[in-house]
Structure 1
Amino acid sequence: MIGKTARQCSSWILPSLLAINLALTAGCAGKTSTARYSASSAGSSCYAKALPTAGEGGLAWGSTLDMARQKSMNNCIRYAGQSGGTPTTCHVVLAECKN
């Protein structure tokens, strides 16, 4: 009688544990990416984008407009140089602050 009860319990325990594990994994997967994105701009209300005439540009966030512009220029110079572009031609094409 004890063997029969143990077999009946084990038939539903394993699927239940797998379902709980899948639900927890799926719930955590969506939250990780959201937290990472919001942390990147937390406290920074201004952004700027700088582009060279050739190569990759740079986008940066900052607490002030001037800080965002400077950071985007530095990123543009670095990325343009790494991508085979022209770092000396970088200029800010967009700079705004969110409300």
Structure 2
Amino acid sequence: MNRNTLKRQWLAASILAACLAPLAGCTHHPAAVEGSRCYATAMPTVGEGGLAWGDNQKTARTSALDNCERYAGRSGGTPGTCRIVEARCK
């Protein structure tokens, strides 16, 4: 598998998990349950990325980049390469 395929699979899994978690009655993204209408996902070249929710795209994007940098650093990845790969509002 190439790097882009892995990124797409990770992104799809993250979005699916974020969408299904409120249905299960638990979530690691409390803002999503409280009505935040926007989300963003950021991925580094290597390592784990970050997903975040916010009241607007700017807030969600900023939080996703912060999360990506933190998680990429913890996973031995490249925090400086984090980029937004998806950002949407309901």
TMscore range, shorter length: 0.5 to 0.7
Amino acid in structure 2 at the alignment position of 1:62: G
> 2:69 is aligned with what amino acid?
I
* Structure 1 or 2: more helix by fraction: 1
In structure 1, what is the equivalent of residue 69 of structure 2? 77
Give 1:65's aligned residue.
57
Matched ranges for 1:7-46 at <5 A: 33-34=24-25, 36-37=26-27, 40=30, 41=32, 42-46=34-38
User: 1:26-47, CA deviations, whole angstroms, 9 ceiling, x for partnerless residues?
Assistant: xxxxxxx41x33x721220000
Q: Gapped runs of 5+ residues in structure 1?
A: 1-32
Correspondence for 2:84 among 65, 87, 92: 92
Q: Which has the larger radius of gyration?
A: 1
Q: Deviations over 1:30-78 (max 9, x none)?
A: xxx41x33x7212200000000000000000000100000000000000
Corresponding pairs, count: 64
Identity of aligned residues (%): 55
Cα RMSD for the two superposed structures: 1.3
